[in-house]
Structure formats: structure tokens, C-alpha cells
A and B are shown apart, each in its own frame.
Chain A
Amino acid sequence: MKIKRIGVAAIALAAAGVLVLTGCTSGSPEATDGASTSAVVTTNGSEPQNPLVPTNTNETGGGKIIDSIFAGLVYYDADGAVHNDVAESIDTEDAQNYTIKIKPGLKFTNGEDVTASSFVDAWNYGANTANGPQLSQYFFADIEGFSYDEDVAELPGLKVVDDTTFTVALIQPESDFPLSLGYSAFYPLPASAFDDIDAFGENPIGNGPYMLDGEGAWKHNERISLVANPDYDGPRAPKNGGLDIVFYATQEAAYADLQGGNLDVLDAIPDGALSTFQDEFGDRAVTQAAAIFQSFTVPDRLAHFGGEEGKLRRAAISKAIDREEITDVIFSGTRTPAHDFTSPVIDGYSEDIPGSEVLDFDADAAKDLWAQADAISPWSGTFQIAYNADGGHQAWVDAVANQLKNNLGIDASGAPYPTFAEVRTAITDRTIETGFRTGWQADYPALFNFLGPIYATGAGSNDGDYSNADFDALLQEGRADTDLASANEKFQQAQEILFQDLPAIPLWYSTVNGAWGQTVEDVQFGWNSVPLYYEITKSE
């Protein structure tokens, strides 16, 4: 989970009017030729919230840097397809025991060899409760011998065979395990990192396409300067000389810098410019689907939402929401209505899963379903959706509440919590007594990542305490299947069950909005909404 924090929403709104002015600028002469391999690309970022240690980074500010300076076993291309990076081969027969071979002769930027131990030691470090715990510790939870309660210095499930080979034993078959290996938690670490992990987090040494521009390249709260790693000759070899990631406190400042020519690539457009940036930047602007799924959850334990009555009411609520209208009017098309529980950028996605009709707007059918539920037990009270007021959610929550009011004839409203921390605490403690906003950003491009962690019985992020034995069984079957296509089929069947039960009511998918300047070309955004920086060429 890479978390995004967007600050100063109020200023953004207030400034919207002013920023409309900026739509007047125009004129975009052809990008000049003569791309230079030494030119440094500048892009927006935010101050990492944690030291730059792969297993302890779980937000986009640090993730963008970590992904640039490390190379994992595999990497994801623009479409989210998985290709080998450091790995030579990843083999399994039962989806539970893996033999991983890495390419020989690879080096970290301090000259150390990248060996099987570089991976095994790094994973053991990330998995060991004694080390923190690390924010991405749960990624290792399915490796044999893992424990949250005890200190396990060396997982029995990880074995080094020789310099370039190691084996992984999982506690159960997981066919999506190879897909997850491109996530930052699974990056290798040089042996020197463990001597002083704090110093390493300040000046990390990786094996990726880029490396830090010397000691102290991380200027806190200001920027981090990366240069191309001359020793990296993998599939992500940079076509530019380096990457300057400038930390912005507001999206407005970053956008102004792009307009003023001080910034090459921007991956977030401020709200006030959403309606104008495409006219202004033309073919240098992009809007594409992101691996982010938005929903709200109405737990079973709420009055009137248990059993058959609850199923009917959830279906009624889902059918009473006109997703098309809200994404158009409130989000100016920067969200797209959901058709399932995953995301269109994921391999295996389908918008015609049987049962997905429950997401189509139909006020009459909704009323009908609601009446059927009332026949079981008459409704009373107000239906509420809790959200954090510091995240720009009020507009859509109010819109959904209004639609429920109008289409179901019930009292409905938003229940704002002042901060993100407050609402998450109430959700985690199960003290919340209303429906609440939920969302998911994928860690790696796989259908299972949108389903297992949220809806499987007892799963970590199963905030609605959903439990369905058939669903769990289909997930297990899918994970045990080493053939990706037939595994995805099982996952889609599992989604059919979700459409009947609606453990979360799908709303829409986020999109990423970005733009770039005239001096750069070949800008592509990856499946995780981060530009593929290594592909960018820049003329000087």
C-alpha cells in the first residue's frame, strides 16, 4: 500500500478561481530534437516519511525513490506485465515452493556483488519483528517460519543454495507470489546496510537504474538528486542522465513550476487545474486509469445490515447511486465508475462479471429492493457514511447521501471525522457505528491483491469483518493454480460472490493525471501511476 497525502485542500479550492487564469497560456512549439543522455529530468515528489529502507517504505514519497535506486527480481512494465529484472528464472511446481535464480555478475553501487544472500538477508531483516517492526513486514508473513510475536532472525523458509540461487517455501500455495516480487519490500540489500541501517536509510546504496548523487544527495524537505547508475545494464537502463525529485508541499506549487518551465514531469494535477490542464498541455497531458479502487463499507454488525435483510439493503443502496453522474459532475471525469472490485489496469480485469449489474443505476429497482428489506424488518434512523474531512471526500459523500435520500426516500448523510487518523482508528477499533469510506491501492498488479487482503475471512484489512466460506475456497483454489489465466478465472468467480454480498459497495476507480514540459519526450505512466522515469528522454 503506497499512501498518498494531499495537503492544503482548502487552499486548493480557494485558489481554483485564480488558477483558471492559467488556462489562458498557450502556444506549444514542437519539442526540439537532440535528446541528451546526460540531461537530468526533474519531477515532483514529497519528502519520504521514513528512512529510505525498502522494507520500511510504504508511501509514495519514498516509494518513488526506492523504486528508482533498487532493482528487484522482477519489474512491471507500463501495462503492469511482469518481466525479470535481477531474476534469471523463478520456478515452481506447486505454487508453494520456489527456486529463484539470479543473474550473475550484478553489483551494488558500492561494488558489492548482488548475490542470493543479498535477497535472503534483506527479507530476513524485513520479516524479523526485532527490527522495528518494519512497515512492510506483512509481505513476509506467508514465508515459512514467520512470526509477529517472536523474533525470528532467519526464516526457515528461505535457503541460500549457492551464490546465485535461493529457495522460498511458503506456508500455502500462492500463485501470485512471483507477481509480488517487484514490490519494494522484496528488494535486495548490500551486506554493508546491516552495519548501520540508520546511516543506510539516509544514504541508501542500491542496484537499480539510478543511484544517489553522492553522500547527502537527499536534501530533506527540499529534493533528492539521483544520477544514472553506469553499472546497471538491466531492462530499465535509463535513457537520461539522472533524476531530480523535488519535494513540493502543494500540488499547486508543482504545477506552477511545470508551467514556468522549472519542472519536466508532473504526476499530479491540482484540483483547480483539472478542467484546463488538457487544453494547456495538449498531447503532453495524460489521464489514465490507476490501480486504485474506491468504495464504502457497510459492516454486517450494523442494525438492519445483517443477513438477508442486509444483502437486500446493500444491493438497494448500490443501485440507488448514479456513479456516472458523480464522476462527471464532482470529479470532472477524473474517476471512472467501477465495474468490479479490482481495477482496469490489472491483468485479468473484466467489466462483465455476472452480478455486476448491481452497480448499474436503477432507482426503481433500488426502491423495490429496499421495500423487500423493509418487509423483513422496517427501516428506521439515518444512513451515514463516515469519512475523513482532511482528504477532500465531502463532495462525493454528500452527493451519494443525496442520491440515497432521493432514490430510496430515507434519511442519509455524511459523518465527517476531522482527520484521517481519527477515522482509521475508529474503523480499526470497530467502534464505528456507520458505513465508512474504504479504498485500496494495489501493491503489485494482481487480481488477488484487491481481493484477498480485504475480503478473505480474518484478513488484515477486512474492516467490515466479511466472511464467506465459498469465497475463501475460490481464492484458495485460485492461489493454488500455477496457470495465471485459470487462476484469474477463479478470482473472477470469487467476485461473483462479492457482487451478491457486497462486503464493500464499489464506487469508482481513480485515474492519474499528469503533464510534462516541452524538453522531454517518451513520458509513459506505469500501472502504479508513477512515470517510467528511465524511459524519458530530454533535450538540452
Chain B
Amino acid sequence: MAGYIARRLLQAIPVLLGTTFLIYFMVFAMPGDPIVALFGDKTPPPQVLEQLRERYNLDQPFIVQYFIFLGNIFRGDLGTSFSGQPVSEILAETFPVTLRLALMAVIIEMVFGIAVGLISGLRKGGIFDASALVVSLILISLPVFVVAFVAQFIFGIQLGWFRTTVGPGAPTQDLILPAIVLATISFAQITRLTRASVIETDGQDFVRTAASKGLSRSRIVPVHILRNSLIPVVTYLAVDFGVLMVGATVTEGIFNVPGVGRTLYQAIIRGEGPTVVSFVTVMVLIYLVVNLLVDLLYAVLDPRIRYAK
């Protein structure tokens, strides 16, 4: 087990190097000069442009710039944004907010998605199953910004139950509405996944055996059916958590959440290379860790899976 984890972590190093190189290359290859754009419709004197390029190392060839960046990272220096704030500080401010938002969204979609999916699966073809199908079809076909704007309008502006956007310090109660909006995207998928998986498991031999041994339904459902149905759902939830962690740009924009997605979007617009690359590097790390955790979770859910080597 420990060997397996160590091997996976070692594999992460080339992945990280490769992704930072690619991202850096893409930021570098973005056409247009971010320094010229700094001055808007006004054209600065050429000397000023030259000196600014020098300051941001933009006058160097790509590969030199990349190694300067890499060298700084190893010294723990992630660079600074144009506004003079260390990127490490921006990361420390935005990731906790996004983490809370992502956790809330995942918990909401997990609780409701699995519950609805389980009931639908156990009472296949019933009224509940049919109406759950309709609701999830509607949710699945609505783009997230429509859900977000409608929710903001009805619950924020008309009813006043929630603050329209997230207030100072991003308090948890302000994050409830955006979290619900984010949860609606995946709620439908989780419901359908759980339902299909439960139906399949319900027909398995070991479930019939358990029933014929005389176990009560209230024991069979959670222990035998649900637990064995969860593997695809857990995979999906973990991937979804990874997606939410790297920022829900649209939803964070609509609710003005000071999180990763909104910040990264603005950094891209401004052409702030260091911020973009550092954010993406951290995102890749999170993805790698989440994937590792999922693989380890499999073993917990299904004892037949072993990672010994």
C-alpha cells in the first residue's frame, strides 16, 4: 500500500513538469503583447515598452523565461501579480473559499443525488422514479448560468432569502445559494448513476442470498445494495469535486465569489503569466491527489481490489 502511494506520488513529478511547461508555452504563445495592452488605446513611448518588457523578462526567449519561472518555483517564489500581490498569497486567499464552496456543493449533490437515486432504483417504474427522471432531465438541460441567474433573481432579489452575491469574507451562509446552483449540475447525473447501479446490484445473487438467509430489507438495502452500488458514484463525485475545486468560473462570476475560478479568469484576461501558471500548477496537484484518493477509496468499498505490489 505505502509503496503504491509512493509510486503514484513519484509519477506526479513528470506530470507536473509537463503541465507547467505546456501552460507556460500556451501563455507565451498567446498572440499580442500584454505590455502594449497595459496602456489601453494610448501608445506609450518605445523606451517605456522596452523597459517594462525587461522587468517582466518578456524580452527573453521562451525557454529562458520558462527556466527562470521554474527556478523561482523551486525557491518557493511563485511570482507576483501586476498589482504587486505575491501569487502565493492570492492562492492562500482564494483556495479556502473555493474549497468550502466545492465541499458544500458536493455534500448537497451527494445527499440528494444518492437518496433520490436509491429510492428511484428500488421502486423502479413508480411515480417517484418517473418524476425524478423528469426533474433531472430539466436540470440537465439547463445551462448553469440560467439556473444561477434565475436562482439569484428569485431567492436573492425577489424573496430576499439569500444575499444576491457573496458578502465580505465570503461567509458560509452566503455560499449556500451558489453551492445549490453548482449542485444542480451534477445532481441529475448522480441520480441516474445511483439508480442504474442500484437496479443492477438489486438483481445480483448475493442480494437474493442475503434475503433468503432471512436478513431484513432495512439491513440489505444500506449494507448490501447501497455499498456495492457506490463505486461508480464515488468516482463521479471525486472527479466532480476536482472540477469544482479548479473553479466554477461562471457561477463564481455571477455570485461574485472571491474564489479560484473568478481570479484565474481575470488573470487570463490581463495576461498575468505568473498567476495563471501558478494557479494551474496547484490545480494539477489537486487533481492528482484527488485521483489518488479515489483509487484508494475503491479498496475500502470493494475489498476485492488490492494495490499491493
Determine if B165 and A257 form an interchain contact, defined as CB atoms under 8 angstroms apart.
yes
* Docked complex Cα distance between A21 and B152 (Å): 12
B149 within 8 A of A: yes
Q: Which residue of A lies closest to B93 (CB)?
A: A220
A21 to B156 Cα, complex, angstroms: 14
Q: Cβ of A162: which chain B residues have Cβ within 8 Å of it? A: none
In the complex the two chains form, is A51's CB within 8 Å of B168's CB? no
Does any Cβ of A come within 8 Å of B84's Cβ?
yes
Query: When the two chains form the complex, which single residue of B33, B150, B270 contacts A49, counting CB atoms closer than 8 Å?
Result: B270
User: Are A425 and B269 in contact, with the CB atoms below 8 A?
Assistant: no
Residue of A nearest to B270 (CB): A49
How far in angstroms is the closest Cβ of chain B from A126? 12
Which residue in A59, A253, A419 is a CB contact (below 8 Å) of B40? Answer: A59
Contact A221 B48, beta carbon cutoff 8 Å = no
Give residues of chain A (9-47) contacting chain B, Cβ–Cβ below 8 Å.
11, 14-15, 18-19, 21-22, 25, 47
Chain A minimum-CB-distance residue to B94: A221
Determine, out of B16-24, B237-245, B257-265, the stretch whose residues face the partner at the interface: B257-265
Is the pair B52, A253 in contact by a Cβ cutoff of 8 Å?
Answer: no
Contact check, B164 vs A259: say whether CB atoms are below 8 A apart. yes
Could you say which of A5, A133, A220, A424 contacts B85, with CB atoms under 8 Å apart? A220
* CB < 8 Å neighbour of A253 from B84, B169, B253, B271: B253
Say yes or no: B149 contacts A15, CB within 8 Å. Answer: yes
Closest residue of chain A to B162 (Cβ to Cβ) is A260
Which one of A88-96, A244-252, A359-367, A372-380 is at the B interface?
A244-252
CA distance A148 to B34 in the complex (A): 21
Interface residue from A7, A221, A419 paired with B258 (Cβ < 8 Å): A221
Contact of B51 among A62, A132, A420 (CB under 8 A): A132
Which residues does chain B contribute within 8 Å of A441, judged by CB atoms?
A: 40-41
What number of A-B contacts does a CB cutoff of 8 Å give? 189
A428 and B36 contacting across the interface, CB-CB below 8 Å: yes
CA distance A11 to B149 in the complex (A): 11
> Which B residues lie within 8 Å of A201 (CB)?
84
- A344 beta carbon closer than 8 Å to chain B: no
Query: Contact partner of A221 among B36, B254, B263, CB < 8 A?
Result: B263
Query: Chain B contacts of A15 at CB under 8 A?
Result: 145, 149
A2 surroundings in chain B (CB, below 8 A): 40
Chain A nearest CB, measured from B159 CB (Å): 10
Given contacts A50-B83, A256-B156, contact A221 B149 (CB under 8 A): no
Contact pattern, B 142-167, Cβ under 8 Å of A = 1, otherwise 0: 01011001101100111010011101
Minimum CB distance partner of B160 in chain A: A260
Question: Which of B40, B55, B90, B258 interacts with A3 by CB under 8 Å?
Answer: B40
Q: A440 is contacted by which of B38, B41, B145, B255 (Cβ under 8 Å)?
A: B41
Write the chain B residue with the least CB distance to A59: B40
**Residues of B close to A156: CB separation below 8 A:** none
**Chain A 430-475 interface residues, beta-carbon cutoff 8 Å to B:** 438-441, 453, 460-463
Within 8 A of A (CB), among B262-308: 262-263, 265-266, 269-271
Q: Does A82 contact B (CB under 8 A)?
A: no
User: Interface digits, A139-151 against B, CB 8 Å rule (1 contact, 0 not)?
Assistant: 0010000001100
A427 to chain B: closest residue by CB: B43
Give the docked Cα–Cα distance between A462 and B41 (Å).
11
CA distance A229 to B215 in the complex (A): 75
- A262 interface residue per 8 A CB criterion: yes
B40 proximity list for chain A (CB < 8 A): 1-3, 58-59, 441
Q: Which of B32, B52, B165, B269 contacts A422 (CB 8 A)?
A: B32
Contacts A222-B168, A260-B160 known; A47 to B83 CB distance under 8 Å?
A: yes
Q: Per-residue 0/1 for A285-328: is the Cβ within 8 Å of any B Cβ (1 yes, 0 no)?
A: 00000000000000000000000000000000000000000000
Q: Are B33 and A18 in contact (CB under 8 A)?
A: no
> Which residues from 375 to 431 on chain A have a C-beta closer than 8 Å to any C-beta of chain B?
390, 417-425, 427-428
Measured between beta carbons, the chain A residues less than 8 angstroms from B34 are: 421
In the complex, chain B residues whose CB is within 8 Å of the CB of A172? none
A349 within 8 A of B: no
Residues B165 and A262 in contact, CB atoms below 8 Å apart: yes
Give complex CA distance A238, B137 in Å. Answer: 54
Q: A138 an interface residue at 8 Å Cβ cutoff?
A: yes
Cα of A62 to Cα of B85 in the assembled complex, Å: 14
CA distance A133 to B256 in the complex (A): 33
Asked if residues B266 and A420 are in contact (CB atoms below 8 Å), the reply is no
CB within 8 Å of B: which A247-279 residues: 248-250, 252-254, 256-257, 259-262
**B204 — which chain A residues lie within 8 A by C-beta?**
none
- A141 nearest CB neighbor, chain B only: B45
Secondary structure class of chain A's binding surface, majority of residues = mixed
- Find chain B residues with CB under 8 A from A438 CB: 41
The answer to whether the Cβ of B126 comes within 8 Å of any Cβ in the partner chain is: no
A137 within 8 A of B: yes
Asked if A223 is at the interface (CB within 8 A of a chain B CB), the reply is: yes
Q: Cα distance A198–B80 when bound, in Å?
A: 11
Q: Is B52 a contact partner of A133 (Cβ separation < 8 A)?
A: yes
**Inter-subunit contact B265/A7 (CB<8 Å):** yes
Answer whether residue B39 sits at the interface, using C-beta atoms and an 8 A cutoff.
yes
- Residues on A with beta carbons closer than 8 Å to the beta carbon of B41: 1, 3, 424, 438-441, 461
The smallest beta-carbon distance between B45 and chain A, in angstroms, is 5
User: Knowing A49-B82, A249-B262 touch, does A425 contact B36 (C-beta < 8 A)?
Assistant: yes
Instruction: Decide if B210 is an interface residue (CB 8 Å cutoff).
Output: no
Q: Which A residue's beta carbon lies closest to that of B31?
A: A422
A202 at the interface (CB under 8 A from B): yes
Q: How far is the CB of A331 from chain B (nearest CB, A)?
A: 18
Contact residues in A for B212 (Cβ distance below 8 Å): none
Contacts of B1 in A (CB 8 A): none
Interface string of A192-226 (1 = CB under 8 A from B): 00000010011000000000000000011111000
In the complex, what residues of A have CB within 8 A of residue B164's CB?
Answer: 253, 256-257, 259-260, 262
Q: Contact: B156 with A222, CB < 8 Å? A: no
In the bound complex, what is the Cα–Cα distance between A417 and B165 (angstroms)? 33
Picked from A11, A221, A425, the residue with its CB within 8 Å of the CB of B262 is A221
Interface assignment of B73: CB less than 8 Å from any CB of chain A:
no
Q: Please tell me if A168 contacts chain B, counting CB pairs below 8 Å.
A: no
Contact B150 A18 (CB under 8 A): yes
Interface residues of B in 203-255 (CB under 8 A from A): 250, 252-255
- Name the A residues within 8 Å of B10 (CB-CB): none
**Smallest CB gap from A419: residue in B:** B32
- Asked if B47 is at the interface (CB within 8 A of a chain A CB), the reply is yes
Footprint of A on B, CB under 8 Å?
A: 30-34, 36-45, 47-48, 51-52, 55, 82-85, 89-90, 93-94, 143, 145-146, 149-150, 152-153, 156-158, 160, 163-165, 167-170, 250, 252-256, 258, 262-263, 265-266, 269-271
Q: A3-B40, A18-B153, A417-B32 are in contact. List 16 more A-B contacts (CB 8 A).
A: A1-B42, A3-B39, A21-B153, A25-B157, A47-B83, A59-B40, A62-B83, A198-B84, A248-B165, A249-B252, A250-B254, A420-B37, A423-B32, A428-B33, A428-B36, A463-B43
Q: What are 26 contact pairs spanning A and B, CB under 8 A?
A: A1-B41, A7-B253, A7-B269, A25-B158, A47-B266, A49-B270, A50-B83, A58-B38, A132-B51, A138-B44, A148-B48, A149-B47, A220-B89, A220-B90, A221-B262, A249-B252, A252-B149, A253-B253, A253-B254, A262-B167, A423-B32, A424-B32, A425-B33, A441-B40, A460-B43, A461-B41
**A residues touching B (Cβ–Cβ < 8 Å)?**
1-3, 5, 7-8, 11, 14-15, 18-19, 21-22, 25, 47-51, 58-59, 62, 129, 132-133, 135, 137-138, 141, 148-149, 198, 201-202, 219-223, 246, 248-250, 252-254, 256-257, 259-262, 390, 417-425, 427-428, 438-441, 453, 460-463
Those 7 A-B pairs whose CB atoms lie nearest each other, nearest first: A421-B32, A260-B164, A3-B40, A422-B32, A421-B37, A51-B84, A148-B47
